A and B are shown apart, each in its own frame.
Chain A
């Protein structure tokens, strides 16, 4: 079971480190990262494995959003099924 984490915000030191630490804390394993910096904007998409998540998915979403708010990053976490439903027949 996978989820997608998207991150957008001003580039700064330690964005990936912070998000990775949050993932590790909740038992979320990072499978893939696509990341770029456009002008000063940091843009990242992570695909993560949530099979061993240690809390409710909703709580993980809240924790990541809180982490984003504290660092002026826009972080969204979405279960993979929405992408699969939309883009696969």
Chain B
């Protein structure tokens, strides 16, 4: 039964508090495109993607109109390309496939396509090595392709050879895209325990255990949560957590509605709703501002990790009952450049990389969209990755690193990507060298937590 209070609340959330569906992502399996002829492989991939998702944007536009809620992005994720690259012989062949993905994304009118990816947590198959070597050129030569590499898992431990290599790959990508704010690095994520049904970029790909095609939806709504806490006024943290839970429930219900209807209209199974609170650089759409609304002078102040832990937990508790299938990253995102409050906190010095690292232990992703000085050595980047992977591996959770070495820039400068990717102040990095540690290579063994059988 519709009532005026509920109607007003919903309309207000959408019109005033930036509630939106962040992404409707179609996962597409490419296994039936296998070929040892590069051109043939590219053609089959292009045809499969454009045939499968041909109506994706049309359907999301229809749903946007029907429910009056913005659906910000329609996207596609595909089978990790390293699994498709067995017949490829060179990095040029891999780049050709990346360009094919880019062309397919253009044809579909979507803004990102994910899956230029490899899983190397325990070791590298030849095609994964080839794909990783090709990443800088692939990201420099395309506009919409997103890449991810899983270098660690709780089950396998940390592949330190891959960690070392990814430090170099990030630096090369930064250099090759130096004319456009090193933007290639904004489309490259290094993961531990990567989820295989994540609808968010840059880490989305279509996992090996997924159906032929699937619809996954990512919701948003930091502004709605912050406003609800503001309305709750003076209350204790139990009441704050309850407020977040109730709000997360409502946000997720909208995600569930859009996901099931999109799936039905496209004739594709519904996969998951990702409960993540995804910020944007827009005013009133910030996870940092939620933390400040809870009672911190600035995001990054002591107490931030505890407040974020509570927020993340309450989002999950509220969201999980609202959706029949929850998956992906599901938690609060803390991307610096994509969050107005994080940007301000980083600029004024309240938020440091070390504090962000601590925060990643209790939220859904990791060191995300952080600009660092362009001259940061590759092994320091590898050291940062290793630390972040260790947090994920030991705590049986996803962690990730998306760092942007800002070519030619240093602390105090700024990188501007525009759009949802925002603006990143270049943050200070501890440059004491982890070189010997990183260069030892090998694998950090899986922790005792992995032995659950």
Contact = CB atoms under 8 A, between A and B. Distances in A.
A69 to B, nearest CB: 15
B10 interface: yes
A2 B9 CA distance: 18
Nearest to A61: B65
B6 A85 contact: no
Interface in A39-89: 45, 47, 57-58, 61-62, 76-87, 89
B253 interface: yes
A4 B2 CA distance: 9
B256 interface: yes
Contacts, number: 62
Given A6-B11, A76-B11, A83 B65 contact: no
A47 B62 CA distance: 21
A34 interface: yes
A58 B4 CA distance: 23
A83 B6 contact: yes
A50 to B, nearest CB: 10
Contacts of A85: 253-254, 256-257
B4 A86 contact: no
B123 to A, nearest CB: 45
A45 B3 CA distance: 10
A81 B67 contact: yes
Contacts of B325: none
A78 B2 contact: no
Contacts of B3: 87
B355 interface: no
Given A76-B11, A82-B254, A86-B250, A2 B66 contact: no
* Highest count of chain A CB atoms <10 Å: which of B6, B65, B253: B65
B40 interface: no
Contacts of B254: 82, 85-86
A57 B10 contact: no
Interface residues of B, number: 22
B436 interface: no
A6 B7 CA distance: 9
Contacts of A62: 65
B69 interface: yes
A57 to B, nearest CB: 6
B67 A79 contact: yes
Given A76-B15, A87-B250, A81 B257 contact: yes
Interface string B1-24: 011101111110001000000000
Contact of A47 (B2, B8, B67, B253): B2
Nearest to B250: A86
B68 interface: yes
Contacts of B8: 45
Contacts of B4: 34, 45
A58 B66 CA distance: 6
Given A45-B8, A58-B66, A82-B69, 14 more contacts: A2-B2, A45-B4, A76-B11, A78-B69, A80-B2, A82-B67, A82-B68, A83-B2, A83-B10, A85-B256, A85-B257, A86-B254, A87-B3, A87-B9
A4 B7 contact: yes
12 contacts: A45-B7, A58-B62, A58-B65, A78-B11, A78-B67, A78-B69, A79-B68, A83-B7, A85-B253, A85-B257, A87-B10, A87-B250
Contacts of B11: 6, 76, 78
Nearest to B15: A76
A47 B1 CA distance: 11
A57 B250 contact: no
Interface string B65-84: 11111000000000000000
A79 B66 contact: yes
Given A58-B62, A86-B250, A87-B250, A77 B6 contact: no
Contact of B10 (A2, A77, A82): A82
Nearest to B19: A86
Contacts of A79: 66-68
Nearest to B8: A45
A86 B5 CA distance: 12
B256 A77 contact: no
A42 B387 CA distance: 57
Contacts of B256: 85
Contact of B6 (A57, A58, A86): A86
Given A4-B2, A87-B6, A76 B68 contact: yes
Interface in B324-368: none
Contacts of B10: 78, 82-83, 86-87
Across the A-B interface, give the 3 residue pairs with the lowest CB-CB distance, nearest first.
A78-B68, A58-B65, A87-B6
Contacts of B62: 58
* Highest count of chain B CB atoms <10 Å: which of A4, A62, A86: A86
Interface string A2-42: 10101000000000000000000000000000100000000
Nearest to B256: A85
A87 to B, nearest CB: 4
B66 to A, nearest CB: 5
